[in-house]
Structure 1
Amino acid sequence: MVDVFADLVGQDEAVATLRRAATAAAVLLRATAEAGPDSGAELAGMTHAWIFTGPPGSGRSVAARAFAAALQCALGTGCGDCAGCHTTLGGTHADVRFVVPEGLSISVSEIRTLVLRAASTPAGGRWQVVVIEDADRLTEAAGNALLKAIEEPPPRTVFLLCTPSTHPDDISVTIRSRCRVVPLRQPPAAAVATVLTTRDGVPADVATWAAAAAQGHVGRARRLARDPDARRRREAVLAVPRRLTGVGACFDAASALIEAAEGEAAASVAELNAGERTALETALGAGGTGRGASGAIRGAAGQLKELERRQKSRATRVQRDALDRALVDLAGFYRDVLTATLRAPVDPVHTDTAELARTAAGRWTAEAALRRLEAVLACRTAIEANVKPRIAVETMMLALWRG
């Protein structure tokens, strides 16, 4: 039997904390049931608001979802076997609500609606759980609305927020001060490889390569191990350093990187967009022949326009996520060059381009390699700050060429 925390790779300390809290929550529920809601029972390790932090791929949303399942578990342990665990992990539990931003931000209207629903009595008799993935995307107004709910929480509501860090740029200090923080770390490549081999049946050599190339990101390692297209995209990115032979080549490489991200994003959302539009048109009476059917469709223009706006926002986010994955791969290459230049006793991130990295290390100084690595990281930061991706990538390519 596999419990709900099984997918949290290399996070033993965090898992132990969450298990203790889930056990304390179950004890509290029993005490309240026996002595009544005014019994004065303490939470003892459990609290109503949590923040899961850590680098990309560390498993922030996995940890939040697993903890939500443990809170809804019939045994109070996160057994992975009961209906509470299954429905929570499957996203269908009536008392667990997930906020997964499809665009670049989470609006105040979304949070207000969510908070209102979360204040109701749990249908299953345990907890109302709100999981907000990418809570760093909350707008200021949305953050303020959430803060009010966290300051005065309903007695059976638990808020689980996922952010890259507790820096004020990611989550407001006032929200942070009212939450318990669960820090997650980047899982070791060996642990990721073991998961790919034992759970996904990936050959050991492929798993080892994919885990190193993904730099501890479990989901990306799984994609690299299974998806030939993902491997081809990575190979194209790692060919960039060889292509930077002049100013024109820099702009060509930038265009290729942007267009690849746009193509990947368009392919990933096309089917979802079409399904959403069809469902909305059907709900609004498309294809109907009765009286008023054509008028209903004409009057639905506003709703269709709003759907298109949301879909465009989602496509922008998916494109930026795809571009960021490419930049992480590129940063890994320049990191390999830097470590080779310094003769550091560490394994390369990209074993398949290790020879190219050693060749570059023979031509560049450590300072030049570091400047190139910093240029890639600066590009990521610029895009996060809403600089136009094409401008940020072109600037990066020129910096990589100049060294």
Structure 2
Amino acid sequence: MSDRRATAPGRFGELVGQPAAVEAIAAAARDAHLAGGGVGVMTHAWLITGPPGSGRSNLAYAFATALLSEDGTPDARVRAQVDARTHPDLAVLASDRVTITIDEVRRLVTASQYSPSVAHYRVIVVEDADRMTERTSNVLLKALEEPPERTVWILCAPSEADLLPTIRSRVRLVRLRVPEPGEVADLLVRRDGVDPALALRAAEEAQSHIGMAHRLATDEEARARRDDTIRIALDADTVPKAVRGAARLLEVAKADSVALTQEREDAERGKALASMGVAPGGTVPPQLRSVLRQLEEDQKRRATRGLRDGVDRVLVDLLSVYRDVLLAQLGAGLAPVNSAWSAEVAAVAQRTEPAATLHVLDAIADARRRLPANVPPLLALEGMLVTAALSRPA
């Protein structure tokens, strides 16, 4: 990593492998402040795209921090407020639901109409703009067509193709790329104090997904669950083993989802009880129980999405394994994702043909496509694992 990137102020320093995007965003924030926030200096709407884990939301909040700081240089106090989502001129939409609701966007559009109270700009961040339906997107479109003078919208999505053409025509696009594993490993070592060898393995196995690499590098249980996923899949060489293995993979996905959400849910409940003046373990007054019921319903919806995301993480890991199998069969000479499993991958590669491996890769991709279509996760996993088992000769 270059010295410039390592010493970049604020959150910009955590964005690896994105020098062009960082420079474009940082320059826009500086120019906006140099001109005193005048009309026409800042584009009022931005779209940051890039694959999962590339740092879309990190860049969005770095931009927000710079815009909300005094001179365009991220300020520690403002950065803390942005991190806590407590800055008075920042509004955020980061939905845990499968889709962003029209009411959520309407509330955000209303918030965008207020003049900034302490900063030059009011900044609105939408983390998963691709989750909006067409009807919801049209509500946002109206706000982008007639923006208040000092409101800046920052949208994030995997690709510009995920948004309506009418929205794309009203935003400035910033594309992020997939960073190299070495760049992600360098961040983990520098920022989190991770051992270099572990950091590189985590970055490779996470396929340069920064958040997942951090989790694998710092959470031994997460690493163990990933190892279980690969072991279960590689051991499933008969249909009965595949059916049993699918059930075990679902258990792994559930455990992974719970590990990600449990701490957050406990904190949310504790905060809600504290706001009601109820001590831990105390009785909630009947007139306040509806608040907790609403929180519990939100958490149930999040759990549904969390399980689907957990199953998808399992499938992404298996895609990387069979990608390594195919590379070994073809003698491609490319670096494997799962170097710790090279002996097992080589054994599978010797027993099967490249055409069969491609069939398995297609089955995994099909399983990923079925999840958003409400196919039961167990059924999707069974179909994928049975295909993998049948690809191996008896």
TM-score w.r.t. length of structure 1: 0.88
Length, aligned pairs only: 381
Q: Provide Cα deviations, 1:172-226, integer angstroms capped at 9, x if missing partner.
A: 2221221111111110011111112222222221122111111111111111111
Q: Cα distance, 1:367 vs. partner? A: 1.3
C-alpha distance in 2 between matches for 1:201 and 1:286 = 39
For 1:176, the equivalent position in structure 2 comes to: 168
1:64 aligns with 2:60: yes
For residues 97 and 276 of structure 1, the distance between their equivalents in structure 2, rounded to whole angstroms, comes to 19
Corresponding residue of 1:3: 9
CA pair 42-315 structure 1, distance change in 2 beyond 3 A: same
Residue 273 (structure 1) shift: 3.2
**Of 375-384 and 337-346, the range deviating more from structure 2:** 375-384
Which runs of structure 2 are paired with 1:336-355 in the superposition (5 Å)?
A: 336-355=324-343
Amino acid at match of 2:40: E
Q: Are the structure 2 counterparts of residues 307 and 254 from structure 1 closer, same or farther at C-alpha, using a change threshold of 3 Å?
A: same
- Does the aligned pair in 2 maintain the 1:135–1:171 contact within 8 Å? yes
Q: Which amino acid aligns with 1:105?
A: T
* Identity between Structure 1 and Structure 2 (%): 40
1:85 partner SS: helix
Q: Contact 1:284–1:297 at 8 Å: present in 2 too?
A: no
- 1:164 aligned to which of 141, 147, 158: 158
Q: Give the 5 Å matches for 1:48-59.
A: 48-59=44-55
Give the distance between the partners of 1:212 and 1:280, measured in 2 at CA: 39
Query: Distance between the aligned counterparts of 2:83 and 2:367, measured in 1?
Result: 35
Aligned with 2:296 (options 300, 305, 308):
308
Structure-2 separation of matches of 1:266 and 1:223: 14
Match in the other structure for 1:37: none
- Give the gaps of 5 or more residues in structure 2: 1-6
Structural mapping, 1:231-270, within 5 Å: 231-270=223-262
Query: Are the structure 2 counterparts of residues 352 and 112 from structure 1 closer, same or farther at C-alpha, using a change threshold of 3 Å?
Result: same
- What is the one-letter code of the residue matched to 1:373? L
- 101, 125, 128: which one aligns with 1:131: 125
On the 8 A contact 1:8/1:63 being kept in 2, the answer is: yes
Question: Which of 222, 228, 253 is the matching residue for 2:220?
Answer: 228
Partner AA of 1:17 in structure 2: A
The question of whether the paired residues in 1 share the 8 Å contact of 2:49 and 2:156 is answered with yes
Partner of 1:73: 69
Shift in Å, 1:280? 4.4
Cα offset for 1:279?
A: 4.9
Are positions 1:400 and 2:392 aligned together? no
Cα distance in 1 between the residues matched to 2:202 and 2:123 = 34
Asked if the contact 1:69–1:89 (Cα under 8 Å) also holds between the matched residues in 2, the reply is no
Q: Tell me, yes or no, if the aligned pair for 2:106 and 2:139 is still in contact at 8 Å.
A: yes
Tell me if structure 2 keeps the 8 A contact 1:332–1:349. yes
Q: Does 1:389 align with 2:377?
A: yes
Is the 2:34–2:71 contact (alpha carbons within 8 Å) kept by the matching residues of 1?
A: no
* Pairing 1:16–2:23 present: yes
The worse-fitting range, judged by mean Cα deviation, of 86-95 and 130-139 is 86-95
Q: Deviations over 1:6-31 (max 9, x none)?
A: 1111001111111221122213325x
Q: 1:281 to 1:10 in 2, by over 3 A?
A: closer
Q: Please, what is the CA RMSD of the aligned residues?
A: 2.2
Q: What is the TM-score normalised by the length of structure 2? A: 0.90
CA distance in 2, matches of 1:93, 1:196: 28
Instruction: After TM superposition, give the deviation of residue 107 of structure 1 in Å.
Output: 1.1
Is 1:98 aligned to 2:101, yes or no?
no
What's the CA shift string for 1:242-272, capped at 9, x where partnerless?
Answer: 3213222112111111122223323433344
Q: 1:15 to 1:283 in 2, by over 3 A?
A: closer
Distance of aligned partners of 1:111 and 1:208 in 2 relative to their CA distance in 1, 3 Å threshold: same
Residues 290-329 of structure 1: CA deviation (Å, up to 9, x unaligned): xxxx9x9445554444322211111112222222222111
- Give unmatched runs, 5+ long, in structure 1: 33-40, 288-293
SS in 2 for 1:63: helix
The question of whether the paired residues in 1 share the 8 Å contact of 2:68 and 2:119 is answered with: no
Q: State the Cα distance separating 1:350 from its structure 2 match.
A: 0.4
CA deviation string 1:324-379 (max 9, x = no partner):
22211111100001111111121000011112112222122211111112211221
